[in-house]
Amino acid sequence: MATGKRSSEKALQKVLGRGANVNAANPLEVHDPKVGSLISYEGVTTADGAADGSTLIDNVLATKPDYNGNLVIITSGAYAGQGRDINGVTTGGTVTAHLVFGGQILRGTTFVIAAIRLTPAEVAALTTMVDAGFTAGAKDATVAKDATVAKDATVAKEATLNTHDAALTAAKAVIDAIKVLLDTPANFMANLTTLETRLSAVRAGYLDQLDFDLQGAIAAITAAGPTEAQMNTARDAIIAAIPAMVGTNGAALASAWTAALATALGSYTAVRGGYLDELAAANLPADITATLALVDSKVIGKLQITATTIELNQGVGDYDLFTGTTEDVVIEKLAIRIPADVSGGAMDSLSIQTNDTTPQVFISAANGAKVNLTEQSQLAWTGAILLKATKKIQLTIAGAATGIACSCDVIAEYRAVVSGGYLT
C-alpha cells in the first residue's frame, strides 16, 4: 500500500504540481480555457533586461513568431502584474515595452504574452477627444467637475450618454479624415514629386564627381612635374632678362626673350608636359581604381577581421563558421563568446578546427568542455594556421544540444597570403 501511495503521489505531482508537492511555494495553477485562449506565449527571462526597465530578454523568442504589438504581462518578481504593450519585433529574443516597467526585469522572471493588441497613441488620442467632448457637453450643473469625476446619483445620465455619443461621432470623423488621406497618396506626394523632378538622374550623377581626392591629385602633379628649384631657376632667368630688354631694339629684345624662353622650356620638357594628360577625364577613373586597389583590405599581408554567430542549441555535428575564399589566408586569432550558462546542459563539449584531412585545431574539445561554458565566458586561440582556399573552419557539437538558446559570437583575425584572399 505504501508503494502504491508513493506512485500516486508522483503522478499527482507531475501532472498538477510541476514535479513537487503542491504548497504555498509551488501553487496549483489552473487556467480557465477562456483565459488560456488569450495567451500567445508563456516564458522565463534568460538574461537581465535593460536597467531602466524598458526591455526583458528571452532567447527562446528567437524560435517563435513576432509578437510586436501584443500585450506582455510580468507574472513574478518585484513587478508582477505590470503589463505593457510590445513596441518592436521580438524574434531577436528581446521584448521592448512601449513604457518602462517599474524597474529592471531580471533573469528568471516569468511572463506571458497575451493575444491582445492595443495601439496606445490612438487610444490616448481618442480618450482625449472623448474627454473633451464630455467636458464641452456636460452642461448640467449637478455634474461634479473635480479631478475624480465623482459619479454622484445626481448626474444626468441621459445627458452624459448624449455627450459621449457626440464625442465618439467627432472621433469617427477624425479617423475617417485620416483614412481619406492615407487612401489618396496624391494628397501628400506633391512635394515628393517636386523633389524627384528637381533631383534628376543627371543631376544626381554630378554628386559622383565629388568622389575624388583633389589634394592628392595636386600632390601627384607637383611630384611628377618640374621641381620647385627648376621652376625658381626659370623664373629668375626671366626676371634677370627684363632689364636688358628695356631701351633695346627689337632684335635684342627678341634675343633676350628667346634665351629666357629656352631656359623655361629646358626645365618644362615634353615628357613633363605629358604628365598633365593624366588629368583627362578618361584617365582619372583608372588612376583612382588603381589607388583603391592598393588600399583594398584584401591586399597581401593586410590584417583583416570577420565575425559570425553560431547557435549551440542544435544537434550533434559539424557546423561551418568560415570558408577560405579566392586565395589562401593565414589565421592569427580566433575567439568565441558564450552568452548563456550551458555548463549544466546535455551538451558534452564544443571544438573548433579546420576540415583538412588532418584538422588544425583552434579550440580543443577539452578546452571546450561544458564545465567551461558558463555565462559570458570566452575561449580564445592565438597562433598561425594556413587555411587553403575553399577549406573551412568548423564548430563541432558533441553529446547533445544545450537545451536552451545560446547564440555565440565568433571572430577571426587573418591576412591574405595572395592579394584577394578573404574569409566568408
Domain of residue 388, CATH code: 2.60.120.730
Is 87 within the bounds of a domain? yes
CATH number at residue 106: 2.40.10
Domain assignment of residue 198, yes or no: no
pLDDT at 246: 55
Q: What is the pLDDT of residues 309-348, one digit of tens each?
A: 999 999 999 999 999 999 999 999 999 999 999 999 899 9
Instruction: Give the pLDDT band of residue 113 (cuts 50, 70, 90).
Output: very high
Mean pLDDT, the chain, as a whole number? Answer: 80
- Between the alpha carbon of residue 4 and those of residues 8, 11, 14, 94, the distances in Å are 6, 11, 16, 46
Q: Is 345 found in the same domain as 398?
A: yes
Query: Own/partner pairs for 298-303, CB < 8 Å, 24+ apart?
Result: 298/326, 298/416, 298/419, 298/420, 298/421, 298/422, 299/416, 299/419, 300/415, 300/416, 300/417, 300/418, 300/419, 300/421, 301/415, 301/416, 302/415, 302/416, 303/332, 303/413, 303/414, 303/415
Do both 42 and 96 map to the same domain? yes
The answer on pLDDT for 251 being more than 80 is: no
The answer on 400 and 308 residing in a single domain is yes
Mean pLDDT of 418-422: 95
Question: How far is Cα 293 from Cα 285, in angstroms, rounded to an integer?
Answer: 12
Residue 315 and residue 237 in one domain: no
Cell numbers standing for residue 160: 452624459
Least Cα distance to 56 among 39, 35, 37, 80 occurs for: 80
- 309 with 416, same domain: the answer is yes
Q: Which helix (H) or strand (E) holds 158?
A: helix 157-183
Q: Are residues 230 and 253 in the same domain?
A: yes
Percent of the chain with pLDDT over 90: 48
What letter represents residue 82's amino acid?
Q
Beta-carbon count within 10 A of 72 CB: 25
Each residue's pLDDT tens digit, 142-173:
444 554 555 554 555 666 666 667 778 877 88
Characterize the bridge pairing of strands 407-416 and 392-398: unpaired
**Residue 267, SS3?**
helix
**pLDDT confidence of residue 130:** 57
The three state secondary structure string of 50-112 is CCCCCEEECHHHHHCCCCCCEEEEECCCCCCCCEEEECCCCCCCEEEECCCCCCCCCCCCEEE
Of 117, 138, 161, the domain-final residue: 117
In a domain, 26, yes or no: no
Q: Is 127 contained in some domain? A: yes
What pLDDT is stored for residue 18 in this prediction? 43
* CA dihedral of 49, 51, 53, 55, whole degrees rounded to 10: -30
Q: How far is CA 77 from the centre of its chain?
A: 31
Q: 143-157, 213-227, 261-275, 386-400: which has the highest mean pLDDT?
A: 386-400
Domain that holds residue 96: 31-117
Residue 170 falls within a domain, yes or no?
yes
Question: What is the structure's pLDDT at 247?
Answer: 52
Q: What is the pLDDT of residues 15-29, one digit of tens each?
A: 444 445 545 555 545
pLDDT above 70: residue 190: no
Q: Taking the mean position of all CA atoms in its chain, how far away is CA 387?
A: 30
The answer to whether residue 404 scores a pLDDT higher than 90 is yes
Do residues 238 and 262 both lie within one domain?
A: yes
Q: Which of 291, 322, 338 is the last residue of a domain?
A: 291
Q: Check whether residue 309 and residue 414 sit in a common domain.
A: yes
Read off the pLDDT of each residue in 108-120 and give the average, rounded to a whole number. 85
Domain for residue 205, yes or no? no
Q: Do residues 405 and 317 both lie within one domain? A: yes
Q: Assess contact for 322 and 334: CB atoms under 8 A.
A: no
Beta-carbon contacts of residue 94 (< 8 Å; ≥ 6 apart): 55, 56, 57, 61, 88
Same domain, 129 and 106: no
Tell me if the pTM is above 0.85.
no
Higher pLDDT, 34 or 148: 34
| Rounded mean pLDDT, 245-269 | 69
46 in Cβ contact with 60 (< 8 Å) = yes
> Do 310 and 418 belong together in one domain?
yes
Q: Looking at 264, 291, 318, which one is the last position of a domain?
A: 291
- Tell me the three cell numbers of residue 330: 593565414
Q: What percent of the chain has pLDDT over 70?
A: 66
Residue 126 and residue 109 share a domain? no
Q: What is the rounded CA–CA span in Å between residue 244 and residue 272?
A: 30
Q: 97 pairs with which residues across the strands?
A: 86
Specify the number of domains making up the chain. Answer: 4
Does residue 76 belong to any structural domain of this protein? Answer: yes
> pLDDT-based confidence at 277, cuts 50/70/90?
confident
**The three three-digit cell numbers of residue 52, written as one number:** 531602466
Q: Considering the domain boundaries, does residue 209 fall inside one?
A: no
Using CA atoms, how far residue 403 sits from 154, 314, 376, in Å, is 63, 8, 17
